[in-house]
Structure formats: C-alpha cells, structure tokens
Structure 1
Amino acid sequence: MTAAGLHLAAPAKINLYLHIGPLRADRLHDLASLFVFAHDGDVIRVEAAKDLSLKVTGPYAPLLKDLPPEKNLVYRAAELLAREADVRAGAAITLEKHLPVAAGVGGGSADAAAALRALVKLWNVNISETALSRLAFRLGADVPACLARAPVNVSGAGERIEKGPVLPPLWIALVNPRVEMPTGPIFRAFDAANPVPHPPKLAAFRAVSYAQVKEAMGATRNDLEAFAIEKAPVIKDVLDDLAAAPGALAARMSGSGATCFALFASWAAASRATRAACARGHWAMASALHVR
C-alpha cells in the first residue's frame, strides 16, 4: 500500500481438467476441476477516492469500451463488498486488461477476485476468508477459486474449494486463435448432447514429477472441448500445434474456450511455443505457473 494506492495481479486461470455434471436447481452445473494460475494476466489498481469509479486500460480495453461500468464484474464486486461491509468510502479502480475476453481463462472472474482482495485492504474490511469466498460466489462460480491464486480442487458449482496438489515447476503456453467463446452456448451444447450426465468426480491428480503430470493429464479431460471445437474448428488446429510443440507435456483447452494451453518443463520451451503461435496470427502468452 502506498500513497498512490495498491495494485494486484489478476492472473490467468487455467483448468488443467474440467469434468461437467448435471444442471442443478440453481441453473449452475456440478463440476470437478483443478484450477491453476499463471504468474501473468490482468492487473487491478485501486486508489482511495470519494466515489466509486472504474477505468479500463491495456491492449484489450477496446473490447470493453461499450460495456457500462456497472455491468463490469470488477465494478459489481466493488459495489457488493461496499454494500455487505457497509463501506461508505469510494475507490478509483483501474483494470489493466491483458487477457482476451470470453476466452476460458477466467479473466473477468480473476479480475473480480483481485478487486475484492485489493478493496479489502484499501477499505480495511474485516472479513474472514470463508465469508469473502461466499461473497465471491455471488459474483460468479469461478470467482471464489480465483481468490486463491494457487492450485485448488474445485467442485460443486465452484463453491467447494480445497487445496490442490503440489506440482513440479511448470511453465505454460496460452494460445487463443482470437475467437471469443461465450460460456452459455457451449454449456447448452453440452446439455443437449448429455441430458443425464454422470456426477463429476475430482481426479486423483498426483503429479510430483513431469512423467506424472503427463499421466495425470492423460487420465483427465475437458468435457467442453469437443463442443467448442464444433463451434470454432480452429481450436483443434491450435491444440494439435501445441501438442506437437517441442517439450510439450500435454495440451488441452481451458474452460469453455477458446484459449488452449500446453505445459512445459522449461521457460525456453514455453516461449518457443508462444512465438510459433504468434507467427500464425494467434494471441499467445508464456508464463510460469503458481505450483503451490
């Protein structure tokens, strides 16, 4: 915290696997997933102010220019925290947008989680982790897990969060073919093809070594991947390219897409894969993963 306020990273969220189950009475899906987080992503900056305001900057800000602040998940997070904690102060919030929009890497959820963390500090809110997680769930199913920024096993519709496995040092290449993939249509396609899906189960994702990472990835899946590929076949091309990248341990789509990823044992290999993806005209980012 400085006189100029504070800033927090809103790192990209990646589903190492995503198993989808039935639709619940609250219209959310049961799921089982392992969330991990990159070191890089968006950035949230907050400063003390009389009123609440939101400014969006960064390379992907133009995609949000027509979205009223009150519709942005970051602004909604600030309003909700202020209301629930009876905060009368304002805040000048800046969202520095580096991640693609509607991309399956939790950009909006990670932004909201970082905003909550930053505003709890700025406003000196006395709130437990449990209460903050419950409040985060009211904003979106992925927001509670994004509070962690460390590997977490996620179940229920996102409200049940447990500490995830300790992973070996990993680097990730994230690649998006510049395709927006709204979550709703992909889940509806899954529902149409799976009217009575089996209840999802958390995987025994024990991956201390790189060989175990490959084995654990091979034993899991992303249940939404096929439906995203059907909507945007270029995703299959991206996955094939990533799987064939030198040093790739595994490749998969994250969330409901369209961002895909490959895991690597070195920064050099992840960087090489992202450079190749950029040469094909895709958005790409290499980053280390938070592995514990």
Structure 2
Amino acid sequence: MDAAVVDAPVVNGAVVDGALAEPARAKINLTLHVTGRRADGYHLLDSLVVFADVGDVVSAEPADALSLSVIGPRGAGVPVGADNLVFRAAKLMAPGGGARLTLDKHLPAASGIGGGSADAAACLRVLAHLWGCELPPLADQLRLGADVPVCVVSRPCRMTGIGEGLAPVPRLPPVWLLLVNPGVGLETPQVFRALTTADHAPMPQDLPVWADAADLAFWLAAQRNDLQPAAIACAPVVGQVLDAVGSTAECLLARMSGSGATCFGVYASRTAADRAADTMRIAHPDWWVAATGLHGAGT
C-alpha cells in the first residue's frame, strides 16, 4: 500500500500566544501484528493506528536561526539539540531555515505512544505552514522514524510494512480510552530483541465497520499486539498495568500500545473512562494516567 492512499494531512496553523502551533497527538496501536522481518533487520508490521485527544504541542515563530526550547510537565531532561527529533525534523525541512521552535511536552518518553515521532511530525506540519513549503517525501519522513509518516497524517490508519504503508480504515465509532504508563521507559529495539518469532499472521484483509465501542472491542480482542509478551518479559510491570486497567469498571479491553510500556483500556463512554482514570490515580499515584477520546472517531 502507498501512503498516498490516505488523504494529505491538514495543517491546522492554529495561533497560540502569537506563534503557529500544531498538536502532536499520542499515537495508539489498537493492534500491532509483527508479520515478518526484512533482510536488513527491519520488522514488518500490520497495525490499526489511532490518535488520542491528548499529546504534546509544537509551536514555531519566524527567526533568523533555528532554535528549540522545551517546556511543559514532561520537559525536564529533554534534549534541545541535534538529538531531539523535532530539531532533526526542522533540519530535514530546510537545512538552512530559521525558526524559533517550542515543544510543550506532556507525554512520557519511550512509552509506545509515539511521543517523539508525533513531535517530529508536528514540527514538519507547522514549518510547512510557517515557511509555505511542501512536506518532505515519505522516504525522508521514514528516516526520522518508522512512526513519523503515520503521525504526519495523524488520523486513523492501517499501517503496514515498516511504516510506509498507510491506508484509510472504516469509520471508528465513538470510543474512549484510558492511557496508563508506569513510569518505565521501554526502548523499541530492546523489545524487538526479546521477540521470540517475527512471523505472525496479519489482520484480516478487509476490516469491518464497527457499530459501536463494544463491537470494536470484541473485534480487537481477536487481534493482537505481538510485542506485548516481549515487553512484559523486559518489564514485568507492564503485566501489572494490564491487570489494573482490565479490572476497572466497564473496561471492554485492555492492551499495550506499540512497544510499551503504555497500556490502554477501551470504554464505551467518556464517563466510564474518566472514572477509570480516577480509580487508577488513587491506586497508583506515581503512574501517568490520562482519559481521552480519539481524534476522528465517531465522525
């Protein structure tokens, strides 16, 4: 499948405190099937990817030189130089371009919800608007990371290959999620090394039209995240998070996103997700917890 199958992303170009701003929404892998491994070591995936209504924000203002500052509750310790994906994305857009970039960081790092990739993608979108230029081609986006192209699109997709295959999916019903991270960072290469086999079955060729949240959760239960057992082997607390999320009232499904350690629960109402979040914060005050809707669901 080709990324061009999905509509081009909409650059919001919202103005926040005088600067152009783009949301960097949390990426959630509702499914993640590992279907093979290429000769170069890259794993092949088949994943139903959605985006939450929570995330970071990248803003940009005109400037003679390129600079990056990081603020927000999760900003401490985040690099502001060449090691930051936002900075690398800006260099990719225009090596000699100038902009004053600000990353407002709310998502935990190395958490399986695409924080760094979403930040890079938001940087690409906001600079495309600021500088009046095109987004870089897919191959260049992939150089930043396998999740960057889907985060550039930032809408429900079926992601295949190593991240280059993006296709639209049937309309998602109204659904709410509880996101929980225990504060343990899991590096993606570490989890893939713990994977016992890379040859799993993909999702069905044709995805159904889901009637409601319960119907979606029932279908998801027959699918998988093939990295979940490997992540639990690397960090047993992931299993504890899954048990805690699954035990909340009205939870329809509990699963890990990406390579972890963030797990999610699926709920049919915002009220149920909010109550589950309250329960989780009381029981585990040191965990990162967020109740959220899905961007583009129910529309």
TM more than 0.5:
yes
The residue number in structure 2 matching 1:240 is 243
Instruction: Answer whether contact 1:133 1:147 (CA < 8 A) is retained.
Output: no
Mean CA deviation greater in 175-184 or 273-282 = 273-282
Aligned-residue RMSD, C-alpha: 1.7
Equivalent position SS for 1:27: coil
Where does the alignment leave 5 or more consecutive residues of structure 1 unmatched? none
Query: Are 1:91 and 2:91 counterparts?
Result: no
The CA distance in 1 between the partners of 2:141 and 2:170, in whole Å, is: 23
Instruction: Answer whether contact 2:69 2:80 (CA < 8 A) is retained.
Output: no
Shift of 1:201: 4.2
Instruction: Answer whether contact 2:29 2:257 (CA < 8 A) is retained.
Output: yes
Shift of 1:118: 0.3
Equivalent position SS for 1:245: coil
Query: Are 1:278 and 2:281 counterparts?
Result: yes
Equivalent position SS for 1:269: helix
The CA distance in 1 between the partners of 2:200 and 2:233, in whole Å, is: 22
Query: Are 1:136 and 2:138 counterparts?
Result: no
For residue 116 of structure 1, the aligned residue among 111, 124, 141 is 124
For residue 231 of structure 2, the aligned residue among 228, 231, 245 is 228
The CA distance in 2 between the partners of 1:275 and 1:150, in whole Å, is: 28
For residue 43 of structure 2, the aligned residue among 25, 29, 46 is 29
Instruction: Answer whether contact 1:153 1:202 (CA < 8 A) is retained.
Output: no
Instruction: Answer whether contact 1:113 1:146 (CA < 8 A) is retained.
Output: yes
Runs (4+) of structure 1 moved beyond 6 Å? Answer: none
Equivalent position SS for 1:100: coil
Letter matched to residue 23 of structure 1: R
Shift of 1:21: 2.5
For residue 43 of structure 1, the aligned residue among 54, 57, 60 is 57
Instruction: Answer whether contact 2:70 2:80 (CA < 8 A) is retained.
Output: no
Change (3 A) 1:151 1:228: same
Following superposition of structure 1 onto structure 2, how do residues 167-206 of structure 1 map, counting pairs within 5 Å? 167-190=172-195, 193-194=196-197, 197-198=199-200, 200-201=202-203, 204-206=206-208
Where does the alignment leave 5 or more consecutive residues of structure 2 unmatched? 1-12
Query: Are 1:13 and 2:27 counterparts?
Result: yes
Deviations 1:68-119 (A, max 9, x none): 5101111000001114xxxx43011111110000000000000001100000
The residue number in structure 2 matching 1:249 is 252
Instruction: Answer whether contact 1:46 1:92 (CA < 8 A) is retained.
Output: yes
The CA distance in 2 between the partners of 1:91 and 1:178, in whole Å, is: 33
Shift of 1:203: 5.9
Instruction: Answer whether contact 1:254 1:260 (CA < 8 A) is retained.
Output: yes
Same amino acid, percent of matched pairs: 45
Letter matched to residue 197 of structure 1: D
Query: Are 1:55 and 2:69 counterparts?
Result: yes
Q: TM-score, normalised by structure 2?
A: 0.89
Letter matched to residue 107 of structure 1: G
The residue number in structure 1 matching 2:3 is none
The residue number in structure 1 matching 2:222 is 219
The CA distance in 2 between the partners of 1:123 and 1:215, in whole Å, is: 45
Change (3 A) 1:202 1:157: farther
Mean CA deviation greater in 11-20 or 196-205 = 196-205
Equivalent position SS for 2:90: helix
Query: Are 1:76 and 2:88 counterparts?
Result: yes
Q: Which is richer in helix?
A: 1
The residue number in structure 1 matching 2:263 is 260
Q: TM-score, normalised by structure 1?
A: 0.91
Query: Are 1:153 and 2:155 counterparts?
Result: no
The CA distance in 1 between the partners of 2:116 and 2:37, in whole Å, is: 22
